[in-house]
Amino acid sequence: MKSQVAKRSIVVAGHKTSVSLEDAFWKGLKEIAGRRDITLSDLVAVIDSERHHGNLSSAIRLFVLEYYRHQGTDKPADPARSQMPAQTKGPSSST
């Protein structure tokens, strides 16, 4: 299975930059941002601020991988979760 690499411009922390990612990673990144009800730019800014080394494209790939690796487990969904607005759960019913 081959995925096309797409280079896209994005504004991160007020600066325009280009990021090259495979289509699957763009799709995953957009899905994560949508689930958190934040913009793609805001999510990428958090990822960028938390990376310690490597380029932004690699940091995004690792973030998306980590998010989906931990989906459905008790572990935090991703390393940036503590930086993101908390997702609220619906009211629990008690009888």
80: confidence class by pLDDT, cuts 50, 70, 90: low
The 10s digit of each residue's pLDDT in 12-51 is 989 999 999 999 999 999 999 999 999 999 999 999 999 9
Better pLDDT: 83 or 18: 18
Give the global pTM. Answer: 0.73
pLDDT at 53 (0 to 100): 84
The 10s digit of each residue's pLDDT in 53-71 is 889 999 999 999 999 998 8
- How is residue 39 annotated by DSSP? -
Residue whose entry in the numeric block shows the structure tokens 């799709």: 27
Cβ count near 21 (within 10 Å): 22
**Residue 37, φ and ψ in degrees, nearest 5:** 55, 45
